[in-house]
């Protein structure tokens, strides 16, 4: 039977993989000088920002499901929760910036190069934090990937 903890485990991969795909699309759009691909990449950032919301909010149910299992410590869960909060904020800021870029492009037909550079830089930072969040989440039940505590 599927519960909210199970949903969390299923959907938590989307932000990790999605942001990497969107970054690759954005880089490709810059190399090919393609506004169409650039707009698709920005749309993917918006979509991933939206998907990140249920990932974050189903995390509490996942904690409740595993908190009393052997090997699960409050320290490991706490580190994951802390960085997940930062990842959520960064992802939503990135999604808002991408959405703003889409609206700006629709109105003016162009985007300033500095704006795209800022979105790219923010997306790389966000990807790093999302990756760290995923790694810390994996450590909750996979003690084999934990370092010395």
3-state helix, strand, coil in the chain (%, to 5): 85, 0, 15
pLDDT at 36: 96
Q: Residue 48's domain spans which residues?
A: 4-145
Q: What is the pLDDT of residue 145?
A: 62
The span from the CA of 70 to the CA of 56, in Å, is: 24
Judge whether 101 and 115 are in contact, CB under 8 Å. Answer: yes
pTM for the whole structure = 0.90
Instruction: Inform me whether the pLDDT recorded for 79 exceeds 60.
Output: yes
Residue 147 has pLDDT above 80, yes or no: no
pLDDT at 63 over 90: no
* Count of domains observed in the chain: 1
CB atoms within 10 A of CB 1: 3
67-91: average pLDDT: 90
In this predicted structure, the answer to whether residue 96 has a pLDDT above a threshold of 90 is yes
Rounded distance between C-alpha atoms, residue 38 and residue 15, angstroms: 19
């Amino acid at each position: 039977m599927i519960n909210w903890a199970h949903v969390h485990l299923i959907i938590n991969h989307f932000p990790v993989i999605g942001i990497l795909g969107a970054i690759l699309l954005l880089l490709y759009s810059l190399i090919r000088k393609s506004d169409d691909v650039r707009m698709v990449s920005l749309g993917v950032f918006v979509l991933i920002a939206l998907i990140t919301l249920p990932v974050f909010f189903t995390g509490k149910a996942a904690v409740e499901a595993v908190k009393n299992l052997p090997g699960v410590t409050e320290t490991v869960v706490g580190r994951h929760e802390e960085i997940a909060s930062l990842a959520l904020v960064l992802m939503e800021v990135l999604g808002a910036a991408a959405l703003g870029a889409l609206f700006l492009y629709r109105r003016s037909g162009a985007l300033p190069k500095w704006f795209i550079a800022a979105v790219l830089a923010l997306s790389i930072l966000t990807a790093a934090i999302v990756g760290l969040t995923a790694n810390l989440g994996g450590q909750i039940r996979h003690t084999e990937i934990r370092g010395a505590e």
